[in-house]
C-alpha cells in the first residue's frame, strides 16, 4: 500500500502494553507481507486472533480450466451470465479465466457474503455497477460504480451489497499495487503518475462485530478451509501501518495523451505478479493533424490481452458485436487490431467516450466455465467477415 494510515486507538509505542478500559491487554497482531521484509500493519484485537475451535476442508468447485486451443481471439458477454438473487460475492463468483498467477472471475451479488479471506494472494475488485459495503477487519469501505478495491492477502472481509453489485474479481498469487515506475524510492506517487494519494480511500474507523463461534472461509495455497473462531474476527479497536484495503475510482485516473497514439502502458493502473491492469478512460485523442486515433494492429507478443468494456462506445470494436459488459481476449500469437473500417472512421475524432478495464497476463490465460457459458462463437471471424470454410 502506498502510504501510512492510522485508524482507531493504538498505543504510543509499538509492542508495548495496551489495555482495554477494563484492564485486559489487547492482542497485538502484525500483518506483514513477504516475511517481515515489506509493508505491514499492526492491529489491536479485543480477543486472541488465534482462537479457532474448528477447521473443516471445503470443496473448491470452480470447475476445470481449458487451454485456448485452437488459439483464437474470443469475445464473451458477461451481461448474459446468470446469477441467483441470493448470490454472494465470495462463494458465487464464477471463474472466467485463470493461470498460475491470477484467477479472473465475475459475480452479480445480491446477498451478503460469508466472512472470507484469501491467504494465497491479494484480490482486486472492479465494481461494474451497483454498490456495496466491503466490511473488513480494518474497517468498512463503501464502494460503487467504477471503484477498484484492493484487498491485501489475508485480510478478513465480507461484501454486503446495497441491492446488487456487479464485480470483476481478480485473485492474484501475490501482491497488487501501483506500478513501481510511478513511485518514489519511499513509495510516494511521482508527478508523472496518472493518480496519486489524494485519489485513494481507505478505512476511517474501526468496525466491531459481536458473536461467538463465527465461521470464516479461508482460501489458502492448498484449497479452501472453513475456520470457526471463538470470537467475531471484527474486533480490532485500532491499527496503523502501510498495509490495508483501499479504493481507487477509475474516474480519478488522469489519461496520458499525445499527438500520436500512446501505447497501452500509459493506461497502466496496477501491477501484479506476471500481470498488469490498465484503465482506458474517456479522453482527448491523438491530435497530430494526420493522426489515426484508434490503435494500430498489434502483436502482443508476450502477453494475453483481456479487455472488459464497461461504459461508452468502444470505437475500435464497432461491428464486432461487443457491447457494455463484453470482454475480448486477444491472445499472444494472434495479431489483433481495430475492426474493418474503424481506422478510417476514427480520423478527425477528438474525444473517445469509452471506459474499459484491461488485464494483460504474461502467461497464457486458460478458459473457465463462465467463459464457456457466455462466449460469442463468431467473434474470431469478424475482421474477415467470413466464417470457417
Closest contact distance (angstroms) between CB of 47 and Fe ion is 50
CA 89 – CA 118 distance, rounded (Å):
13
When the beta carbons of 171 and 305 are compared against Fe ion, the nearer one is 305
Please report, for residues 53, 282, 354, the alpha-carbon distance to residue 288 in angstroms, rounded to integers and kept in the order given.
Answer: 66, 18, 20
State the residue number with the nearest CB to Fe ion.
Answer: 305
Contact range with Fe ion by CB under 5 A, out of 209-217, 282-290, 299-307, 381-389: 299-307
CA 109 – CA 99 distance, rounded (Å):
24
Q: Is 34 annotated as a binding residue?
A: no
CA 28 – CA 197 distance, rounded (Å):
28
CA 56 – CA 380 distance, rounded (Å):
44
What is the per-residue binding string for Fe ion in 255-294, x denoting contact by CB under 5 A?
Answer: ----------------------------------------
CB neighbour list of residue 252: distance below 8 Å, 6 or more residues apart = 195, 199
What is the per-residue binding string for Fe ion in 301-320, x denoting contact by CB under 5 A?
Answer: ----x---------------
When the beta carbons of 305 and 375 are compared against Fe ion, the nearer one is 305
Q: Is 298 annotated as a binding residue?
A: yes
When the beta carbons of 135 and 305 are compared against Fe ion, the nearer one is 305
Closest contact distance (angstroms) between CB of 223 and Fe ion is 35
Closest contact distance (angstroms) between CB of 105 and Fe ion is 22
Closest contact distance (angstroms) between CB of 266 and Fe ion is 13
Q: Is 336 annotated as a binding residue?
A: yes
The count of residues interacting with Fe ion (CB under 5 A) is: 1
- The interface with Fe ion within residues 125-184 (CB under 5 A) comprises none
Closest contact distance (angstroms) between CB of 181 and Fe ion is 21
Distance of CA 345 to the CA centre of its chain: 33
- The interface with Fe ion within residues 63-122 (CB under 5 A) comprises none
Asked whether 125 and 143 are in contact (CB, 8 A), the reply is yes
When the beta carbons of 90 and 168 are compared against Fe ion, the nearer one is 168
SS3 of 286-338: CCCCCCCCCCCCECCCCCEEEEEEEEECCHHHCCCCCCCCEEEEECCCCCECC
Q: Which three cell numbers stand for residue 109?
A: 451479488
Pairing of strands 212-220, 116-118: parallel
Give catalytic status of residue 220 as yes or no: no
Closest contact distance (angstroms) between CB of 356 and Fe ion is 10
CA 104 – CA 279 distance, rounded (Å):
16
The CA-based dihedral angle spanning residues 344, 350, 356, 362, taken in that order and rounded to the nearest 10 degrees: 70
When the beta carbons of 154 and 320 are compared against Fe ion, the nearer one is 320
When the beta carbons of 193 and 358 are compared against Fe ion, the nearer one is 358
Provide the 3-class DSSP secondary structure of residue 47: coil
In sequence order, the β-bridge partners of residue 151 are 123
Closest contact distance (angstroms) between CB of 305 and Fe ion is 5
Q: Is the peptide bond before 105 cis (omega within 30 degrees of 0)?
A: no
Distance of CA 176 to the CA centre of its chain: 9
Q: Which of 175, 261, 267, 288 is catalytic?
A: 261
CB neighbour list of residue 185: distance below 8 Å, 6 or more residues apart = none
When the beta carbons of 48 and 299 are compared against Fe ion, the nearer one is 299
Q: Is 138 annotated as a binding residue?
A: no
Binding residue positions: 298, 305, 314, 336
Binding residue positions for Fe cation: 298, 305, 336
Q: Catalytic positions, please?
A: 261
Binding residue positions for homogentisate: 314, 336
Which residues form the interface with Fe ion (CB under 5 A)?
305
Amino acid at each position: 500500500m502506498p502510504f501510512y494510515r492510522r485508524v482507531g486507538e493504538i498505543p504510543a509505542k509499538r509492542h508495548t502494553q495496551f489495555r482495554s478500559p477494563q484492564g485486559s491487554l489487547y492482542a497485538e497482531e502484525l500483518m506483514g507481507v513477504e516475511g517481515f521484509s515489506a509493508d505491514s500493519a499492526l492491529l489491536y484485537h479485543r480477543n486472541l486472533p488465534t482462537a479457532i475451535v474448528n477447521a473443516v476442508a471445503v470443496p473448491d468447485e470452480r470447475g476445470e480450466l481449458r487451454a485456448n486451443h485452437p488459439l483464437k481471439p474470443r469475445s464473451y458477454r458477461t451481461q448474459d451470465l446468470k446469477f441467483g438473487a441470493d448470490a454472494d460475492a465470495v462463494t458465487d463468483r464464477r471463474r472466467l479465466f485463470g493461470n498460475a498467477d491470477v484467477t479472473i472471475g465475475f459475480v452479480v451479488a445480491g446477498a451478503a457474503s460469508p466472512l472470507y479471506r484469501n491467504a494465497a494472494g491479494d484480490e482486486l475488485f472492479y465494481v461494474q455497477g451497483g454498490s456495496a459495503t466491503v466490511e473488513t477487519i480494518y474497517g468498512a469501505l463503501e464502494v460503487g460504480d467504477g471503484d477498484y478495491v484492493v484487498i491485501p492477502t489475508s485480510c478478513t472481509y465480507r461484501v454486503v451489497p446495497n441491492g446488487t453489485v456487479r464485480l470483476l474479481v481478480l485473485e492474484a498469487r501475490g501482491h497488487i499495487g501501483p506500478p513501481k515506475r510511478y513511485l518514489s524510492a519511499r513509495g510516494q506517487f511521482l508527478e508523472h503518475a496518472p493518480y496519486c494519494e489524494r485519489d485513494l480511500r481507505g478505512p476511517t474507523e474501526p468496525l466491531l462485530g459481536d458473536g461467538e463461534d463465527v465461521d470464516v472461509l479461508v482460501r489458502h495455497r492448498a484449497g479452501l478451509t472453513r475456520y470457526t473462531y471463538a470470537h467475531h474476527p471484527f474486533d480490532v479497536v485500532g491499527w496503523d501501518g502501510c498495509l490495508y484495503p483501499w479504493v481507487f475510482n477509475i474516474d480519478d485516473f488522469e489519461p496520458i495523451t499525445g499527438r500520436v497514439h500512446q501505447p497501452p502502458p500509459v493506461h497502466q493502473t496496477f501491477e501484479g505478479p506476471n500481470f498488469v491492469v490498465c484503465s482506458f478512460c474517456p479522453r482527448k485523442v491523438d491530435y497530430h493533424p494526420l493522426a489515426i486515433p484508434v490503435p494500430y494492429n498489434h502483436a502482443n507478443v508476450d502477453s494475453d490481452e483481456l479487455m472488459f468494456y464497461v461504459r461508452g462506445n468502444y470505437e475500435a470494436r464497432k461491428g464486432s458485436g461487443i457491447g457494455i459488459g463484453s470482454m475480448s481476449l486477444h491472445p499472444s500469437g494472434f495479431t489483433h487490431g481495430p475492426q474493418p473500417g474503424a481506422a478510417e472512421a476514427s480520423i478527425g475524432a477528438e474525444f473517445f467516450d469509452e471506459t474499459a478495464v484491461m488485464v494483460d497476463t504474461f502467461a497464457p490465460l486458460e478458459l473457465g466455465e463462465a467463459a464457456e457459458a457466455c462466449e460469442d462463437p463468431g467473434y474470431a471471424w469478424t475482421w474477415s467477415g467470413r466464417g470457417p470454410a
